[in-house]
Structure 1
Amino acid sequence: MRIHLDRNRQTHHRSQGAGRTGFLSTLGVVMAGSPDPKEIVRARSATVRILFEGNAYSLGYFQRRYAWEKLQVEKLMLDLIKKFEREWRPNHQVADAMTYEPYFLGSVITYRRAEEKYLADGQQRVVTLLLLLIRLYHLTSSREDTRDQSARLLTLILGIDPVRRQFTITDIGYRDCFNDLLNGQAFGAYGEPDVVRVFQAYQDVTQFCLQNLPGEALPNFVTWLLERVSLVELDAGDPDRALEMFVAMNDRGVRLTPLDLLKQYLLSDARPDPRVHDAGWQSMQAALDAVAKDATLDFVRSVLRAHYFHLHPDDGDGITLDEAPHEWLVRHEEAIWPRYKTGDHAKLFTQELQPLYPFYADLLRWAAAPVEGHLGTWFNTSNGIIRQFDLTMAAIRSSDNEDDMHRKATLVANFLDLFVVTRGLVAENYGQAEIDELVNELRPAVRESRTVHDLAIALGKTAANWYPNFSGVLTLRYRERGNRPFVVYFLARLTAWMESRTGRGDRAVHMLNHIDGRGHEVEHLFTSRHAEYRNVIPDSDAYSRQRSRLGALVLLEGSDNASLGALRLADKLGAYRSHYMLAGSLHPDSYGRGEVRFRRFREDEKLDFQAYDETIPIPAFVQSRSQLFKAMAEKIWAADRLGLILPTQPVATPRPRQRKRSLVTLVELIREGMLAPDTGLIGTRNRKMFRATLLGDGRIRTASDEPFPSPTAAAEAVLDGKSANGWTFWRIGEGKETLAEVRTRYEHRR
């Protein structure tokens, strides 16, 4: 049996919106003369809300366990965010989200047995959606303006039995994990690899939300996800037919995919016979798809974006390079082949795609697993950059030799890693949207760079503007629910570099790979129990600010971290001595005669390490340690180490293009006289007041003296990582007008 909805019907469904429930079709065969015919297969459209509301799904026995890796999770998240961002504007009301363009997620197969409802196909998407709902529940539950949404999300997460906390996915193997995630608990001893993968997938969802979903957009995103994102539910009726449908839809049938259509389009004008290149195409597809799912299509898109960057990837009428590359090529035929000759389409394959695909396969391998000499690519993947090769493919030419290709790839990977670090240190987003914007700006110059030296100069011109951001080491604070992934990464790189330079081996991969259950954890040098240090810093808020600065942190194995947290620093020095050298350097014995490698390291790198001295005031000690971390970071990410060539003269910082989510900025409001520099701001949450200052460059400095690039970043910082809409959180001085209201006045005046 082959079941599918034709393209016209899918298009009609999407144009009608995803919030409507109803049967789209009745499919199946009734045997003639059957005395008791089975129910025919039924299909209905279902929004995410309808899929979860009042439902509980067991998993079919033929279903594989949860297997999505970081790449698949973040690809789904990126598709959702990109679709949402095309519609959302900062001045929209929540109700406006009901009119946003819908998004279709595909189909799921269900059946019933003994009054239980089962998922026969679609587990990966449904489980990932459940994890997203749990994350959104945590974000909305911490805000006053989204309490109703929080309550709704909880009912969807817990399915039909909220009292017994029977989750929408009822599999008993996942229950403890779901329960821990819903309650904000740390990693548990789940045992089964697929359950561990579920827990890790939630961390992937969390990191992606932190980097790509601004707090002011949260209410609209929740509404759009629940009411405008849809699937088709195929009700098979019984287990036998569910298995039959599962096999048919996964193993049999001929359904033209975007890649099939692209192949037909490109090879159709090959002479003397279109089939002459078929073997070459099959080899390319087999080589790439063996490394990663859908890799061939991603490769083609990346090459087209790199080589035809002057053509917009979205025509505004639904024909996009991401969704329909063959239709996009048809639309831009005259621009790509202004003097078309028979065979030109096929040459795009033979001259542009075929020579480059082996190198792209290497890129995918380096991204999936750490390879010596190409760790920058793996680091970028670990930081959530799931589409990092567009700039690399712009730099690569089919005439390059293998060594030059590899050197260019390393340059670009190091450049993107530097972007992540220098953005993270000043609390700016470095997610896929920011990467895409950076790549769009640089692609023309990178494409013109023929040699490795040319590329190093082109990237160096942009990177030169980022190095002042290393001063952020002195002011950035650790917020567990805000910037934990970045702080773990930053500390891991510092710790691993020091381990390597003192002869212990580079442990960065081990620290970031979560080999054991808990992985590595951020360790505060100073305990959370303020009473232990009240005689040193009487004010609890001031103490909290000091203990969360980067200089007051180290990275330890998770199991070790748990046993040390409540002790005073002086009492932990002995334990630190047996761990990583960055922590061990706090112990006085690390400076004895026997520590030759550590001494040589300090002398060679000219770094001012000091043992902990309890007589030194905590602020002075933390400041000194932060200065040390800054000096280490500047060496690790030094331009010459990364292969970048910085300009000898200062380069003017290009004015970034405004993104849809930032139609009006604080800088613009200041420039137009709507706001004044050094204006005091006040925010309140749960009867607690927070003060901040608007700086002349559009940043907001909070009471901790830490500057933040946006109202939302500043609000979430003072709220210890809880989600907030910074534009409505901050009010002007003692008045009642919010930053959002000032922005609205300015928009009306324009």
Structure 2
Amino acid sequence: MVLNKIEAQAKSIDSLLNNKKYTVDYYQRAYKWETKQIVELFEDLENKFFGEHEEGYSREDVSRYKHYFLGSIIVSEKDNLKFIIDGQQRLTSITLLFIYLHNLLLERGESDDASAIGQLIFSKMYGKKSFNLDIEERTECLDALYNNVAFDVENSPESVRNIVARYEDITSKFPKRLRNGALLSFVDWLRYNVDLVEITTYSDEEAYTIFETMNDRGLSLSPTDMLKSYVLSNIMNNEQRVKANDFWKSRMLDLTQLGKEEDADFFKAWLRGRYAQTIREHKKGSSNKDFDTIGTTFHKWVHDEKSLIGLKSSADFNDFVIKQFKSFSDHYIRIQQAAKVYTPGFEYVYYNAHNNFTLQYPILLAPLHAKDDIETANRKIRLVAGYLDIFIARRAVNFRTLDYSSIVYTMFTLMKEIRELDMQTLVNLLTYKVLTMSEKFDDVSHFSLSGWSKRYVHHMLARMTEHVEKQSGGESRFVNYVARDVKDPYEIEHIWANKYMRHQDEFETEKEFTEYRNHFGGLVLLPRSFNHSYGDKPYIEKISKYLEQNLLVKTLNGQCYQSNPGFIAYKKASKLPFHAHDTFKKADLDARQELYRLLCEEIWSPARFDKELF
């Protein structure tokens, strides 16, 4: 086939999106980006931006910053419409990022800059206002996000559910360094200095031919393929090389069954957790170090750092595959399975995954040794996952960011500290780290619901509810409490309805009431249907209905303390100040906040570490 006219042009994001319209055909795949891709996008953008930017630079200086190539998109132009053939995942994510930046700028009073960003999100054409990424099934959702209001994903298509989830990721994981003084400069850099190549054809057939040519896997080797080639070529014994090759192919199938890029993700996690000695500094002009290079070209890093890994002889390379690769990939597969499916004994791994803590995988592999038996390895995994669980909870209640760039140095240091530690030393170190952690649960008294904390509030309420029920003899229902793609999901419910008039005797202003209403102690988890039916009713009318709900909610009602032997025994043993609330005034909310603080102390206690020694 002879291709007709093809145009390729490098464009800034501003040129690509400003007053432009793109759409996709109905048969295109859904928006499927996961948290991992959002984190990687932020990591790339942040590193490139701060490779040029320093404190004290003005916005005008951004014009002299280097440009950054973000990739390409392929479009088929028909009837004056641009249909995206390849690149909708990236463009959708960029649109979500601009929606977040628009809302953040409005929140900070930067209305002119917010308005300018708005032109990259939506525009008018032929008198009709629509989003620049104009896909009908997403319009209502994007409109809600743009106007900073909640959107109900029930019965929504896969793309819409993923869009809402990724926007929540952007809200919680947007780098702190970018949110602070550098925000306006970053916005300018993102608009004018980040480029994509737009490849335009004038028929779908031509567009798909280009797409297939650019993505022909037969013409390019992945980093995993190149690592395999390098390692096997250094095994001189033919019989050993054949066995190593057979195992490698078999294990690649195991890893790819976990997910599309899990083979590469495994090598990144293993090599970072076990071998990386250095990491790039967050300042202008810094170059990639071990940790960073492994994240991009791990095959090259192994070649360059073979002496660090201990690859000197043919036997070493054979051992690298047959013993090291096998052992650590066994553990990695088990960890990934526990991250995806709630598994007794590996609950902390699942909890961390639910908090989208993507750094946990190299950290969990760091203390392991290829000679560890399965029981020892599992205990080490539980110990480190348990520490990370405490780390996340304490930072969350203190409103300390958990974005990648803010904690990657801390986590990298942890990886190095725990490498190949024996059980007792690992327990001692992690216990010491918790006891000396600057973030305490004392600040639960100030913890409240906000756009940033919503994810963590929901998670912690689910954990507390699960804990009370399990300690009272019930089964774990954590998965039910956090499930999103179900008919009647659990949501955060304010015990006080949003009715200031009912509380004027205790609050002088509506603002004061609204802030207090969002306090942690005034929140519970309830099914969406309950919230819709009873959310606006006075507390006195809801309390009888609370007896039909989960145990943590039931404890508000006095009848919970009369015929519930499992809970009564737990209350007595724990000495926690559970008590009924016939009314729910300001003092009641304060008492509930203190109960929640003590529950946090019990659930996220370092006492969990010693249990692994017995």
TM-score by length of 2: 0.90
- Say whether 1:375 aligns with 2:342: no
1:604 is matched with which residue: 569, 573, 577? 573
Please, which of 327, 338, 342 is the counterpart of residue 300 of structure 2? Answer: 327
Cα displacement (A) at 1:375: 2.1
User: Is 2:31–2:162's contact at 8 Å kept on the other side of the alignment?
Assistant: yes
Task: State the partner residue of 1:236.
Answer: 201
- Once the two structures are superposed, the pairs formed by residues 725-744 of structure 1 within 5 Å of their partners are none
User: Compared with structure 1, are the counterparts of its residues 318 and 595 closer, same or farther at alpha carbon in structure 2 (3 Å cutoff)?
Assistant: closer
In proportion to residue count, which structure has more helix?
Answer: 2
Please say if 1:356 is aligned against 2:328: yes
2:360 maps to 1:388: yes
Aligned letter for 2:112?
A: D
Match of 1:442 in 2: 414
Match in the other structure for 2:513: 543
CA deviation after TM superposition for structure 1 residue 399, in Å? 0.7
CA contact (8 A) 1:58 1:119 kept: yes
After superposition, residues 303-322 of structure 1 pair within 5 angstroms as 303-312=270-279, 316-317=286-287, 320-322=293-295
Amino acid in structure 2 at the alignment position of 1:198: I
1:580 aligns with 2:579: no
Contact 2:275 2:308 in 1 (8 A): no
- 2:534 is matched with 564
SS in 2 for 1:488: helix
State how far apart, in whole Å, the 1-side matches of 2:301 and 2:103 are: 40
Rate the CA distance shift 1:154–1:232 in 2: closer, same or farther, 3 A. Answer: same
Q: For residues 313-333 of structure 1, what are the alpha-carbon distances to aligned partners after superposition, in whole Å with 9 as ceiling and x for unaligned?
A: 689556722212233344435
Deviation at 1:608, TM superposition (A): 1.5
Between 1:351-360 and 1:534-543, the stretch displaced more is 534-543
CA-CA distance at 1:416 after TM superposition: 0.5
**Residues 378 and 435 (structure 1 numbering): CA distance in 2 closer, same or farther, change over 3 Å?**
farther
Residue identity (%): 26
* Cα 1:588/1:210, change in 2 over 3 Å: farther
Aligned to 2:426: 455
Matched, 1:154 2:126: no
Alignment of 1:418-497 (within 5 A): 418-450=390-422, 452-466=423-437, 469-479=440-450, 481-497=451-467
- 8 Å contact from structure 1 (residues 63, 121) kept in 2: no
Q: SS at the partner of 1:187?
A: coil
Q: What SS does the aligned partner of 1:185 have? A: coil
Name the SS for the 2:350 alignment partner.
helix
**Offset at 1:111?**
1.0
Name the CA shift for 1:313/1:211 in 2 (closer, same or farther; >3 Å).
closer
Contact 2:19 2:120 in 1 (8 A): yes
Q: Name the stretch that deviates more: 303-312 or 507-516.
A: 303-312
Does the 8 Å contact 1:134/1:182 carry over to 2? Answer: yes
Q: In the alignment, is residue 182 of structure 1 matched against residue 134 of structure 2? A: no
Change beyond 3 A, Cα 1:468–1:304: closer
Query: Is this contact kept in 1: 2:70–2:196, CA < 8 A?
Result: yes
Report the 3-state secondary structure (helix = DSSP H, G, I; strand = E; otherwise coil) of the residue aligned with 2:400: coil
Distance 1:77 1:367, change over 3 A: farther
Q: Distance in 1 between matches of 2:466 and 2:178?
A: 31
Q: 1:127 to 1:256 in 2, by over 3 A?
A: same
Sort the Cα spacing of 1:544 and 1:55 in 2 relative to 1 into closer, same or farther, 3 A: closer
Q: Structure 1 549/163 Cα, relative in aligned 2: closer, same or farther at 3 Å?
A: farther
Question: Match for residue 378 of structure 2?
Answer: 406
1:232-252 CA deviation, whole Å, 9 max, x = no partner? 222233111122233334455
- Contact 1:187/1:518 (CA < 8 Å) preserved in 2? no
User: Matches of residues 198-217 of structure 1 in structure 2 within 5 Å?
Assistant: 198-209=163-174, 213-217=178-182
- Gaps of at least 5 residues in structure 2 are none
Q: 1:99 to 1:432 in 2, by over 3 A?
A: same
Q: What is the 5 A alignment of 1:716-727?
A: none
Alignment partner of 1:264 is 2:229: yes
Stretch of structure 1 that moved more, 410-419 or 349-358: 349-358
- Listed one character per residue, the Cα deviations across residues 301-349 of structure 1 (whole Å, up to 9, x for unaligned) are 2222223233446895567222122333444355555x94456455433
Q: Which amino acid aligns with 1:265?
A: Y
Paired letter, 1:263: K
Residue range with higher mean Cα deviation, 221-230 or 407-416: 221-230
- Counterpart of 2:102 in structure 1 is 137
CA deviations 1:616-671 (Å, max 9, x no partner) are: 8x44322222221122111111222355799xxxxxxxxxxxxxxxxxxxxxxxxx
Alignment partners' CA distance in 1, 2:572 and 2:195? 61
How many matched pairs?
Answer: 604
User: Which AA in structure 2 matches 1:601?
Assistant: Y
Match of 1:224 in 2: 189
CA shift, 1:532, in A, is: 1.0
- State the match for 2:132 in structure 1: 168
Distance of aligned partners of 1:519 and 1:85 in 2 relative to their CA distance in 1, 3 Å threshold = farther
Among candidates 581, 588, 591, match of residue 624 of structure 1: 591
- Unpaired runs of at least 5, structure 1: 1-28, 31-37, 647-750
Answer with 309-318 or 270-279: which moved more: 309-318
Aligned pairs for 1:525-544 (under 5 A) are 525-544=495-514
Kept in 2, the 8 Å contact 1:313–1:321? The answer is no
Matched residue type, 2:567: F
AA partner of residue 135 (structure 1): Y
1:43 equivalent in structure 2: 8
1:595 corresponds to which residue? Answer: 564
- The separation in 1 between residues aligned to 2:504 and 2:557, in whole angstroms, is 23
Structure 2 counterpart of 1:637, one-letter code: W
Q: Shift of the alpha carbon at 1:400?
A: 1.0
Aligned CA-pair RMSD: 2.9
**Does the CA-based 8 Å contact 1:457-1:645 persist in structure 2?**
no
Q: Distance in 2 between matches of 1:517 and 1:599?
A: 33
Shift, 1:500, TM fit = 2.4
The aligned residue for residue 254 of structure 1 is: 219
Q: 1:505 to 1:439 in 2, by over 3 A?
A: same
1:122 Cα deviation (Å)?
1.6
Q: CA deviation at 1:427?
A: 1.5
Q: State the 1:482 CA deviation.
A: 3.1
Distance 1:269 1:275 in 2: 9
Q: Deviations over 1:141-163 (max 9, x none)?
A: 2223x333311221111155396
Aligned to 1:230, the other structure's residue is in SS state strand
Shift of 1:512: 1.5
Query: Does the aligned pair in 2 maintain the 1:385–1:431 contact within 8 Å?
Result: no
Q: Hey, what's the Cα distance between the residues in 2 that align with 1:551 and 1:559?
A: 22
Q: How much has 1:398 moved relative to structure 2?
A: 0.8
> Aligned partners of 1:163, 1:136: CA distance in 2, in Å?
26
Q: CA deviation at 1:62?
A: 4.9
Q: Which amino acid aligns with 2:442?
A: S
1:506 and 2:447 are equivalent in the alignment: no
User: 1:669-708 alignment to 2 at 5 Å?
Assistant: none
Partner SS state of residue 128, structure 2: coil
**Whole-angstrom distance in 1 between the partners of 2:463 and 2:201:** 51
Change beyond 3 A, Cα 1:378–1:543 = same
Q: What letter is aligned with 2:103? A: H
How far off is 1:291 after superposition? 0.6
The answer to whether the Cα contact below 8 Å between 1:208 and 1:384 also exists between their aligned partners in 2 is no
Amino acid aligned to 1:167: F
2:246 and 2:272 map into 1 onto residues whose CA distance is 25
The whole-number CA distance in structure 1 between the counterparts of 2:609 and 2:48 is 35
Q: Which segment is superposed worse, 368-377 or 327-336?
A: 327-336
Match of 1:280 in 2: 247
Instruction: Give, in angstroms, the shift of residue 61 of structure 1.
Output: 5.2
